[in-house]
Amino acid sequence: MSALVGFVHRDPGADVLVITNMWPEPERPVYGIFVKRQVDSLREAGVHCDVLYVRGYLTPLAYARSALELCLATVRWRGRYRLVHVHAGETSLAARFFVGPPMLVSYCGDDVLGDPRDDGSVPPGQLVRSALVRAISVLFSRTITKSREMHDRLPARSRARNDVIASRCDASCTACSASSRRLRGESRRCRTRRSGLAALSGCMSRELCSRS
């Protein structure tokens, strides 16, 4: 791979691929820590995962590079993974170039709703980005949103395959923090990380069973 996109964790015999643009590193120890904790919990539950990290915080070119790598991986990794779990809408734009296994996408907040200014208005660039993320959501096997508001903004075809799973994010999730003003009033948060994991595992199990 490259400095912009590469594996940060690999399990022997992994049949689930996690693609994320958030992951803790020595220089950013809490960035995406909730994604790592989720992967750790899934591994404890017996799910073997590989984690592909797209370092979009360095440059938007990371998404273009990952799209190319994932397009090539369609041939290189044929038959390796039974399911792909993608974190964040920006990552999903690149992940869709990987063709083959079913894909589950977990959206963060501003990727679907747009990142609002302090006055509540959303800049034009953010509107375009979120509109594109919502439009391609129809190309995925299943999606997860963190609130009913996010669910309602998806296209009808996506809503039919979407699960609302409110999660307890932390300060490292900049997308969720940026959109917290929108979500605070109506998001029903899980009381424990375990309940969120159970719901996620249910989504994964349903998708895997439907493809068996």
Every domain of the chain and the residues it spans? 5-211
Over residues 198-208, the pLDDT tens digits come to: 555 566 655 45
Give the CA-trace dihedral at 151, 99, 43, 189, to 10 degrees.
Answer: -10
Whole-angstrom distance, CA of residue 129 vs CA of residue 111: 7
Q: What percent of the chain shows pLDDT beyond 70?
A: 78
Q: Say how many CA atoms lie within 13 Å of 90 toward its Cβ.
A: 24
Give the CA-trace dihedral at 197, 62, 67, 102, to 10 degrees.
Answer: 0
Q: Which residues are bridge partners to 164 per DSSP?
A: 145
Q: What is the pLDDT of residue 205?
A: 54
Over residues 59-116, the pLDDT tens digits come to: 999 999 999 999 999 999 999 999 999 999 999 999 999 999 999 999 999 999 998 8
Q: What is the pLDDT of residue 37?
A: 92
For 139, residues 6+ apart whose C-beta sits below 8 A from its C-beta are 96
For 145, residues 6+ apart whose C-beta sits below 8 A from its C-beta are 107, 112, 151, 154, 162, 163, 164, 165
Q: What is the pLDDT of residue 156?
A: 96
Q: Which of 51, 46, 40, 47 is nearest to 10 (CA)?
A: 51
Whole-angstrom distance, CA of residue 155 vs CA of residue 137: 8
User: pTM of the entire structure?
Assistant: 0.81
Whole-angstrom distance, CA of residue 31 vs CA of residue 209: 33
Q: In CATH terms, is domain 5-211 a member of 3.40.50.1450?
A: no
Q: Are 189 and 109 within 8 A, CB to CB?
A: no
Give the total residue count for the chain: 212
pLDDT for residue 125 is more than 70: yes
Annotate 106-140 with b (16+ C-beta within 10 A) or e (fewer): bbbbbbbbbbbeeeeebeeebeebbeebbebbeeb
Q: Are 73 and 5 within 8 A, CB to CB?
A: no
